[in-house]
Structure formats: structure tokens, C-alpha cells
């Protein structure tokens, strides 16, 4: 009897906590369909009167550039960055996981230590470097470093995973006449798909949500990503059109949340196997 | 004779060759590391001794940036103080809560996946502007939180307008995203062998004792990593304070990241900002070292600590 009672208490607690966690998001969605007068009076989830012009008007963005442009920009920044990160990281991870070479331990330690290098320390010289290279106000500050495997978290994640792939597979492929690149393409990459998938998802979501870096590097509205566009809408609509701002916030949340639902398995496995980032 | 024998050995050849092949594979990272990490790291240290700004040619000013910061910059101390409060509230708050919920979810309940999904949701949206927008609405003077409080006949609280409260409202946004740490802890808990608990039960240990003697020691490596990474991130928190409160009211949420942004990219006093960033780096390093050095006393590694 006491056990049953205990269980009921636990479930009640978990459910209440679940509501606290999810309710704000649901409220945001429902409020984006409300009139501005109603947003700050009601705590329920069902609008008295459902309106959609918040989406229509909000979508217009700055007037000159609509949220269509901002969505497209975000994809233009995020997708190449994700792809380049995956390609470069798997090459480097393969090198670290499977080969012996001079200074390997030292280089690996350097790679790990960059995980703890605060972005705040290197951001000013990077800005000046990119300015001298003429990369400011473009997406090159995001894509080119990705091409050179500077997101070391993913290298670490993939090294851990590749180490778990039995070496006998490499050996037998070698006997069959494969060189090291064949082994990477035919054995390591296909077997690392789950890890690559979760690395891709994480990188997608982190780049998608990134604000500070785009704030610093992107200046013209034409090239704004969604984070910058939302901030701009916030300043423009500060005192009037809350529902438009909410509507656009909801839209920017859709891609990460969709990915989360479709690829949940990889998410949980991804963080669980690396055990690193929170 | 001997040499040719070694040369003919296929293992020798492949090993010799793979030396360089391995370097070839990691070459992209070596270039990226040198250009985008090591070079900026060293130059930012050099910049911190100059009056670099984008508007004029820089001069070496010796230690004067540091001297100015430490002796005469009240805003610097204010920012440092509230950043430390933020880190001390948000990081332990998040980790303790994540551990607590992970313990509950590990009790072999039904619907675990469902609850885990829901708790994880806010973490997906990370430090996004959209989430900051949501926070502004939730904690506005007549926002959802105060509407709920009024239904419970509790007087409204000025969550973002009161300098004594605003920082905690922002910390709460961080704690609300406890999901990712929770998933990590849950994975760690699943790896603890059940025999350990059974043995403890036979020895007459209660729940609380087995928590402190088994669960906690087995989880310490994960807690250790989480603590370090979350602390480093928290010291650099930017988006929430920048979007929700713009550092106000009365600079009560003027986190270190905001100050760095202002000096580096608004006033373009980049030498001064570099010095600020190196002080932050020194603080983070000291704390990380402290955690590392103390870890043998509180972390437990089954394989003797080689990771």
C-alpha cells in the first residue's frame, strides 16, 4: 500500500514538473494566435479568438526583407557548416583513432584542451583576422573554420566512437587490398553513421541557435540569420505587436524541434556515448 | 642482413607508412588549430598590453589595461560580481536538479521516455533568441507567471525590473534547461551494476547510504566533466542577459560576456577588452585547475583514473 502511494506521489511530481517544463512553450504557441490585448490577460491555452495575421504580418520582417530571406540565410549558414564539420571531423578522428604518428599524444592533448578554450578569449583576434581577410558580413567565418575541424567537440566524439569499431575489420579489408582511405570510406564511415548523425544534429542545432557570433560577424540586414532577425523584430515591435514577435519565435523553433522528434534516438545516444557536453 | 629482413617485414612497412598517413588525416585540424585557435589565443594576449582599437594605430601600453581594470574600473567589479553569482546559482542549480530528476527517472517507472523527452525539450532551444523572447513574455510585469501568481492571490513580482531579482530570473532560464545534463546522468546511472546495490542491501545499507556510497561515487566522473564544461559556458553567458534585460536594470544583469561585447565590439576598445578576456581566462583556468586538482579526492575511477 505504501509502495503504491509512493508511486502515485512520484508520478504526480513528474507530471507537474512536465507541465512546468512544457507549458511555457505551449503558451507561446497559443499566444501567437491571440490578439495583443488578450496575451497579457489569459493563462489558458485556448485563444478566445484565433487570429493568424500575426504570422502574416510578422513574416514581413523588416519590410524590405521578409522572414523567408532570414530562413534561407540561416540555412545557407548552417548547412554548409554542418557538412564541413562532419567531413573534417571524421577525417581527423580517423587519423587520431587509427594511426600512430609522431607527437600524437601531444596533439591529441592539444585538441582536447581546446574544448576548454573559452570563445571569449579568441573572439577579438578572430574578428580582426576575418576583417583582414575580408570575411566580415559573410558566412565564411562559420564555414571555413568548420572545414578545418575547429569544432573539436565533434572530433572527440567521433574518436570515442571509432575506437569502439573492431580493428579486425580494418585488417581484413587491408588484406583484401584496401588502402587507408578505402577503409575510411567503406568501413569506418558506414559504421559510424549513428555518431555522425548525432554530431550533425548537435551542430545543426547549436549553429541554428547561435546568436553572439552572428551578431558580431554579420552586419547587413540582407544577410541576417533568424537570431538577428528576431532581435531586430523585438526592437521594432517593442511596445506594440507582441503576437507577431511570438509568431516568428515559434517559427524559428520549428526546425530544431522537428529534428529532435525525428531523431530523438540519436540525441540521447549522442550525449550518452560522449558523456561530455551539457 | 638484419636491416633488409626488417624492411621486408610487411608490418614494418605499413607501420612506417602509416606514420605519415595519420598526419595527413589530421592535417586539416592542425591548420585549423594553428590559424583559428592558437594564433588568436596568442595575439589576444599581446593585444591585452596595447590600446588597440580599430580607429587608430595601436601602442604598447604595458600593464596599464590590467592596472586600470583592477584598480579603477567599478563596472568591471560589478560585472565580475554578478557573473560569479550567476555561475554559483545556475551551475549547481542545474546539475543538482538534473541529478535529482535522473535519480527519479532511474526508478524503473513507466513512461520514462515520455518524461525524458518533455524535460529535454527546453535544452534543444539552447541559448536561442526565441527562448529569450519567451522569457521576456513569461516574466513581464503582466506576463504568464504573474497571472498565475495572481490566481493564487500572490502579489505580482517585478521579475525583470527589480535589480535584486532580475539576475535570478535569468539564472532560472539556465536551470530550466537541465535536460541535457539529466540525460547524461541517466546514462551514467544505467551503467552502475545492479550487484553493487544488492550487495549493499545484504550488508544492511539503506537507500540514503547506498546513494552516498555507491551512486554518487560512480557518477563523479560525469559530474566532474559536466561541472567543468557548464562552468566555462556559464562564465561566457551572453544571449539571455543581452536579449531579456540588456544588462539592466541598474547593470544588475550586466554579465561578463556583455561587458566584453560592449568594449570589444561596441566601443571597439579591443586592447582593453582583450585584457578583460584574459582576466576571465585566468579565473576560469584557476577554477578548472582547482576542480582537476581536487578531483582525486572526490572522483572515483574504476580503471584507476586514466581517461
B253–chain A Cβ distance below 8 A for any pair = no
**Direct distance between the N- and C-terminal alpha carbons of chain A, in angstroms, rounded to an integer:** 39
Tens of pLDDT, residue by residue over A103-160, are 999 999 999 999 889 999 999 999 999 999 999 999 999 999 999 999 999 999 899 8
Same domain, B269 and B234: yes
Same domain, B114 and B195: yes
Tell me what the mean pLDDT of segment A241-245 comes to.
86
Q: Which of B123, B102, B211 shows the shortest CA–CA distance to B173? A: B123
| A265 or B194, which is more confident | B194
Q: How many CA atoms lie within 13 A of B191 on its CB side?
A: 17
Tens of pLDDT, residue by residue over B183-241, are 888 888 888 888 888 888 888 888 888 888 888 888 888 888 889 889 999 999 999 99
Q: Give the C-alpha separation, B218 to B190, whole Å.
A: 11
Judge whether B59 lies within some domain.
Answer: no
The pLDDT value given to residue A122: 95
Cis amide prior to A264 (ω within 30 degrees): no
Tens of pLDDT, residue by residue over A158-174, are 998 898 888 888 889 98
Same domain, B269 and B138: yes
> Searching chain B, which residue's CA lies closest to the CA of residue A100?
B19
The pLDDT value given to residue A218: 96
Tens of pLDDT, residue by residue over A83-93, are 999 999 999 99
The segment with the largest mean pLDDT, out of A205-214, B152-161, B197-206, is: A205-214
Contact status, residue B189 vs residue B103, Cβ threshold 8 Å: yes
The pLDDT value given to residue B219: 87
Same domain, B22 and B81: no
**Number of domains making up chain B:** 2
Judge whether B85 lies within some domain.
Answer: yes
Cell numbers 512546468 correspond to what residue?
Answer: A20
Judge whether B79 lies within some domain.
Answer: yes
Judge whether B305 lies within some domain.
Answer: no
Same domain, B148 and B269: yes
CATH number at residue B284: 1.10.3720.10
**Percent over 90 (pLDDT), chain B:** 51
Judged by CB atoms closer than 8 Å, whether chains meet at B180 and A40 is answered as no
Tell me what the mean pLDDT of segment A91-104 comes to.
92
Judged by CB atoms closer than 8 Å, whether chains meet at A150 and B37 is answered as yes
- The B residues from 258 to 297 touching A (CB cutoff 8 Å) are 260-261, 264-265, 270, 273-274, 277-278, 280-281, 284, 288
What's A53's DSSP letter? H
Same domain, B195 and B98: yes
Q: In which region does residue B58 sit, left (phi positive, over 0), alpha (psi from -120 to 50) or beta (all else)? A: beta
Q: Give the C-alpha separation, B186 to A258, whole Å.
A: 23
- Which domains does chain A show, CATH number per domain? 62-274 (1.10.3720.10)
Judged by CB atoms closer than 8 Å, whether chains meet at B183 and A272 is answered as yes
Q: Give the C-alpha separation, B219 to B215, whole Å.
A: 6
Orientation of helix A242-262 relative to helix A264-274, angle to 10°: 70
pLDDT interval class at B2 (50, 70, 90): very low
Q: Give the C-alpha separation, A28 to A85, whole Å.
A: 33
A122–chain B Cβ distance below 8 A for any pair = yes
* Residue B170, φ and ψ in degrees, nearest 5: -75, -40
Grid coordinates representing B83 are 557573473
The pLDDT value given to residue A250: 95
Query: What distance in Å separates residue B294's CA from the closest CA in chain A?
Result: 18
Q: Give the C-alpha separation, A274 to B246, whole Å.
A: 35
| B9 or A237, which is more confident | A237
Same domain, B80 and B169: yes
Judge whether B27 lies within some domain.
Answer: yes
Same domain, B9 and B110: no
Q: How many CB pairs under 8 A join A and B?
A: 271
Nearest CB among B25, B54, B274 relative to A91 is that of: B25
Grid coordinates representing A57 are 504580418
Judge whether B137 lies within some domain.
Answer: yes
The pLDDT value given to residue B192: 85
Sign of dihedral through CA atoms A140, A143, A148, A153? positive
The pLDDT value given to residue B213: 84
Q: Give the C-alpha separation, B113 to B105, whole Å.
A: 9
Judged by CB atoms closer than 8 Å, whether chains meet at B229 and A276 is answered as yes
Full DSSP string of B96-125: HHHHHHHHHHTTT-TTHHHHHHHHHHHHHT
What's A211's DSSP letter? -
Full DSSP string of A229-255: HHHHHHHHTTTS-HHHHHHHHHHHHHH
**Percent over 70 (pLDDT), chain B:** 92
CB within 8 A of B263, min separation 6: which ones?
B269, B270, B272, B273, B276
* Res B126 pLDDT > 50: yes
Judge whether B195 lies within some domain.
Answer: yes
> Which chain A residues touch B18 with a CB distance below 8 Å?
99-101, 180
Judged by CB atoms closer than 8 Å, whether chains meet at A123 and B230 is answered as no
A123–chain B Cβ distance below 8 A for any pair = yes
Same domain, B25 and B131: no
Q: Give the C-alpha separation, A26 to A18, whole Å.
A: 12
Cell numbers 609522431 correspond to what residue?
Answer: A102
Full DSSP string of A139-200: SHHHHHHHHTT--HHHHHHHHHHHHTS-HHHHHHHHHTT--HHHHIIIIIHHHTHHHHHHHH
CB atoms within 10 A of CB A15: 13
Judged by CB atoms closer than 8 Å, whether chains meet at A121 and B281 is answered as yes
Same domain, B227 and B121: yes
* Res B62 pLDDT > 60: yes
Same domain, B158 and B20: no
Tens of pLDDT, residue by residue over A175-195, are 988 898 999 999 999 999 888
Full DSSP string of B15-56: HHHHHHHHHHHHHHHHHHIIIIIIHHHHHHHHHTTB--BTTB
The pLDDT value given to residue B16: 45
Judge whether B152 lies within some domain.
Answer: yes
Residue span of the structural domain in which B237 resides: 68-298
B15-29, B78-92, B184-198, B280-294: range with lowest mean pLDDT: B15-29
CB within 8 A of B241, min separation 6: which ones?
B170, B247, B253, B254, B255, B257, B258
The pLDDT value given to residue A237: 59
> Which chain A residues touch B264 with a CB distance below 8 Å?
123-124, 127
Same domain, B94 and B39: no
Tens of pLDDT, residue by residue over A20-72, are 999 999 999 999 998 888 888 877 888 888 888 889 988 988 778 999 999 99
Beta strands in chain B (DSSP E): none
CB within 8 A of B177, min separation 6: which ones?
B94, B122, B123, B125, B126
* Res A19 pLDDT > 70: yes
Amino acid at each position: 500500500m505504501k509502495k503504491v502511494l509512493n508511486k502515485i506521489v512520484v508520478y504526480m511530481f513528474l507530471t507537474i514538473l512536465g507541465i512546468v517544463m512544457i507549458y511555457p512553450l505551449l503558451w507561446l504557441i497559443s499566444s501567437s494566435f491571440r490578439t495583443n490585448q488578450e496575451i497579457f490577460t489569459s493563462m489558458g491555452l485556448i485563444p478566445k479568438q484565433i487570429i493568424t495575421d500575426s504570422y502574416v504580418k510578422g513574416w514581413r520582417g523588416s519590410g524590405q526583407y521578409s522572414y523567408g530571406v532570414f530562413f534561407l540565410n540561416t540555412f545557407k549558414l548552417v548547412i554548409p557548416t554542418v557538412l564541413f564539420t562532419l567531413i573534417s571531423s571524421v577525417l581527423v578522428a580517423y587519423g587520431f583513432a587509427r594511426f600512430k604518428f609522431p607527437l600524437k599524444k601531444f596533439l591529441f592533448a592539444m585538441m582536447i584542451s581546446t574544448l576548454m578554450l573559452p570563445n571569449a578569449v579568441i573572439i577579438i583576434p578572430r574578428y580582426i583576422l576575418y576583417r583582414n581577410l575580408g570575411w566580415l558580413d559573410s558566412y565564411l567565418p562559420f564555414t571555413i573554420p568548420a572545414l578545418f575541424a575547429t569544432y573539436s567537440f565533434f572530433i572527440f566524439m567521433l574518436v570515442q566512437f571509432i575506437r569502439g569499431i573492431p580493428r579486425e575489420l580494418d585488417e581484413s579489408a587491408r588484406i583484401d587490398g584496401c588502402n587507408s582511405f578505402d577503409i575510411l570510406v567503406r568501413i569506418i564511415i558506414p559504421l559510424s553513421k549513428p555518431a555522425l548523425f548525432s554530431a550533425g544534429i548537435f551542430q545543426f542545432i547549436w549553429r541554428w541557435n547561435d546568436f553572439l557570433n552572428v551578431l558580431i560577424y554579420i552586419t547587413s540586414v540582407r544577410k541576417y540569420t533568424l537570431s538577428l532577425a528576431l532581435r531586430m523584430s523585438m526592437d521594432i515591435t517593442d511596445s506594440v505587436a507582441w503576437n507577431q514577435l511570438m509568431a516568428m519565435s515559434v517559427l524559428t523553433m520549428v526546425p530544431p524541434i522537428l529534428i529532435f522528434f525525428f531523431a530523438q534516438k540519436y540525441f540521447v545516444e549522442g550525449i550518452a556515448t560522449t558523456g561530455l557536453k551539457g | 642482413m638484419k636491416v633488409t629482413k626488417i624492411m621486408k617485414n610487411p608490418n614494418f612497412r605499413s607501420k612506417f607508412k602509416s606514420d605519415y598517413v595519420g598526419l595527413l588525416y589530421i592535417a586539416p585540424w592542425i591548420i585549423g588549430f594553428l590559424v583559428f585557435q592558437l594564433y588568436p589565443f596568442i595575439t589576444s594576449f599581446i593585444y591585452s598590453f596595447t590600446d588597440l582599437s580599430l580607429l587608430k594605430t595601436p601602442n604598447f601600453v604595458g600593464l596599464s589595461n590590467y592596472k586600470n581594470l583592477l584598480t579603477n574600473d567599478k563596472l568591471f567589479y560589478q560585472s565580475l560580481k554578478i557573473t560569479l553569482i550567476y555561475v554559483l546559482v545556475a551551475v549547481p542549480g542545474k546539475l543538482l536538479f538534473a541529478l535529482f530528476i535522473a535519480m527519479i527517472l532511474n526508478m524503473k517507472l513507466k513512461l520514462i521516455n515520455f518524461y525524458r523527452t518533455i524535460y529535454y525539450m527546453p535544452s534543444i532551444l539552447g541559448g536561442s533568441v526565441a527562448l529569450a523572447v519567451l522569457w521576456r513574455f513569461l516574466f513581464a510585469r503582466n506576463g504568464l507567471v504573474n497571472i498565475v501568481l495572481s490566481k493564487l492571490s500572490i502579489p505580482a513580482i517585478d521579475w525583470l525590473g527589480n535589480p535584486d531579482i532580475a539576475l535570478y530570473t535569468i539564472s532560472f532560464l539556465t536551470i530550466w534547461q537541465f535536460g541535457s545534463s539529466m540525460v547524461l546522468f541517466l546514462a551514467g546511472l544505467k551503467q552502475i551494476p545492479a550487484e553493487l546495490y544488492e550487495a549493499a542491501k545484504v550488508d544492511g545499507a539503506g537507500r540514503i547510504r547506498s546513494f552516498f556510497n555507491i551512486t554518487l561515487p560512480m557518477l563523479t566522473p560525469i559530474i566532474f566533466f559536466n561541472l567543468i564544461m557548464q562552468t566555462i559556458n556559464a562564465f561566457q553567458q551572453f544571449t539571455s542577459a543581452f536579449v531579456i534585460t540588456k544588462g539592466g536594470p541598474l547593470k544588475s544583469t550586466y554579465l561578463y560576456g556583455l561587458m566584453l561585447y560592449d568594449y570589444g565590439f561596441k566601443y571597439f576598445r579591443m586592447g582593453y577588452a582583450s585584457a578583460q578576456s584574459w582576466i576571465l581566462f585566468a579565473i576560469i583556468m584557476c577554477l578548472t585547475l582547482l576542480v582537476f586538482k581536487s578531483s582525486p579526492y572526490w572522483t572515483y575511477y574504476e580503471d584507476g583514473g586514466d581517461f
